[in-house]
């Protein structure tokens, strides 16, 4: 009998084919379910000119890639650190003109992804009508609805080359289960699959397949939508794995503070990315046992 393919992969195998200029889409939102292990691995490979997409919100993930010099264009509806302030790398790069910003509303990016997932050339949204967004973003077009003539915003289908997402648990075939919210990861995986791209998931823990077959209703993303599974305990750190461990505010602020000078950001990137060969080394060097114990314990109130 033939055996089924196992999708457990090393980072090197999973990131084969990563090239300058590709479109990378990142799952999670704000400080949650961000595949930070993979973000650091991509930054360490010094890939250039990426178009980085994330919806609805990005913070440390995209900002770190910008600060590491990997990004040419940002397509993120909300790029910031919410109650912790604005995104420092994004602000700097945008004001110096070293990145392009694809100005948009959440629903524009979602329409673009939904279009790809349904093999349509474009999508539409009502948001943006009456604003300047389409004057700033050539991919948005103010058009008339074909049926009623009402003004609406059209946006071309978006086809990511690579999607990276993080779930609390997965099995060796690529089935994924989240402990909390999965945010936009499903539509991200669907659009990437339908657009011909590759989907890589990191998981805090690989569980036996039987834990998925025993309750398939609790599988959030099917193995059909996943190409590679990488076991990375605390792989979202210092962001949260929603419902599994909280984000580490102090560690996120360490990045924000490092952005205060070019030298301190270079030091941060050297210290957290360039000098760290793999995830185990990162955990050993940068993650204190007590901080992840606290991040786990904080899940409960």
Partner 1 sequence: MSSKNTSVAWPELAAFVLSKELNDGEIGSPGGARSEIPLAAARLAQLTHAPNLMIITSAAGFVTNNVGRPPAPLFHSTTDYRNIYAGAESVLHFMSIFRTPRDWFFAGGMQVDSYGNLNMTAIGDVKAPKLKGPGGAGLSYAGSVARRYFIYMQQHSRRSFVNKLDYVTAMGYGSGPGEREALGLVGGGPALVFSPLAVMDFCDATKRLRLRSVHPGHTVEEVLDNTGAEMIVPENVPTTALPDNDVLEILRTQVDPSGVLQNLKGSRND
Phi, psi at residue 200, to the nearest 5°?
A: -115, 130
Under the binding rule (CB under 8 A), the answer on residue 97 touching partner 1 is yes
Torsion over CA: 18, 22, 27, 31 (sign): positive
Interface region with partner 1, contact rule CB under 8 A, candidates 45-53, 70-78, 224-232, 282-290: 70-78
Residues belonging to the chain? 301
Residues between 138 and 167 that touch partner 1 (CB under 8 A): 150-151
Interface with partner 1 (CB under 8 A), residue from 94, 120, 143, 287 = 94
Interface region with partner 1, contact rule CB under 8 A, candidates 15-23, 77-85, 225-233, 282-290: 77-85
Interface region with partner 1, contact rule CB under 8 A, candidates 4-12, 177-185, 197-205, 229-237: 177-185
| Residue indicated by tokens 């999508």 | 123
DSSP single-letter state for residue 221 = B
Under the binding rule (CB under 8 A), the answer on residue 133 touching partner 1 is yes
Q: CA of 244: how far to CAs of 89, 166, 168, 205, in Å?
A: 28, 12, 7, 11
Under the binding rule (CB under 8 A), the answer on residue 73 touching partner 1 is no
Smallest distance, partner 1 to C-beta of residue 3, A: 34
CA 177 to chain centre: 17
| Residue indicated by tokens 């524009």 | 108
Smallest distance, partner 1 to C-beta of residue 100, A: 10
Please classify residue 39 by burial: count the beta carbons closer than 10 Å to its beta carbon, then call 0-12 exposed, 13-18 middle and 19+ buried.
buried
Interface with partner 1 (CB under 8 A), residue from 51, 67, 107, 194 = 107
Under the binding rule (CB under 8 A), the answer on residue 204 touching partner 1 is no
Under the binding rule (CB under 8 A), the answer on residue 178 touching partner 1 is no
What are the residues whose beta carbons fall under 8 Å from the beta carbon of 62, sequence distance 6 or more? 26, 52, 54, 71, 74, 76, 79, 87, 90
x-marked contacts with partner 1 along 38-57 as a string, rule CB under 8 A: ------------------xx
Under the binding rule (CB under 8 A), the answer on residue 187 touching partner 1 is yes
Phi, psi at residue 230, to the nearest 5°?
A: -120, 125
By CB under 8 A, name the binding residues for partner 1: 29-32, 56-57, 76-80, 82-83, 86-87, 90-91, 94-97, 101, 103-107, 110, 114, 125-133, 136, 150-151, 180-187, 240, 242-243, 246, 298-299, 301
């Amino acid at each position: 009998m033939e055996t089924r393919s196992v999708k457990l992969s090393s980072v090197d195998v999973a990131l084969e084919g990563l090239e300058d200029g590709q479109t990378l889409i990142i799952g999670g939102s704000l400080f949650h379910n961000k595949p930070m292990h993979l973000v650091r691995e991509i930054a360490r490979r010094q890939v250039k000119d990426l178009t980085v997409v994330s919806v609805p919100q990005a913070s440390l993930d995209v900002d770190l890639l910008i600060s590491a010099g990997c990004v040419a264009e940002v397509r993120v509806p909300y790029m910031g650190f919410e109650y912790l302030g604005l995104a420092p790398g994004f602000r700097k790069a945008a004001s110096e003109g070293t990145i392009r910003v694809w100005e948009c509303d959440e629903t524009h990016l979602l329409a673009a992804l939904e279009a790809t997932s349904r093999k349509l050339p474009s999508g539409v949204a009502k948001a943006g009508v009456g604003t300047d967004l389409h004057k700033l973003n050539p991919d948005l077009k103010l058009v008339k609805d074909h049926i009623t003539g009402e003004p609406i915003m059209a946006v071309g289908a978006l086809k990511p080359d690579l999607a990276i997402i993080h779930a609390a648990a997965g099995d060796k075939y690529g089935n994924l289960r989240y402990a909390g919210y999965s945010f936009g990861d499903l539509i991200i995986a669907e659009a990437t699959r339908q657009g011909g791209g590759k989907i890589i998931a990191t998981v805090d823990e690989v569980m036996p397949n039987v834990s998925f077959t025993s309750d398939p209703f609790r599988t959030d993303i099917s193995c059909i939508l996943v190409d590679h599974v990488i076991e990375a305990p605390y792989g979202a750190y210092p962001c949260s794995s929603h419902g599994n461990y909280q984000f580490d505010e102090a560690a996120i602020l360490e990045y924000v503070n490092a952005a205060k000078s070019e030298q301190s950001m270079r030091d941060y990137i050297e210290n957290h990315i360039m000098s760290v060969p793999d995830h185990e080394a990162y955990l050993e060097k940068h993650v204190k046992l007590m901080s992840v114990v606290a991040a786990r314990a904080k899940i409960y109130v």
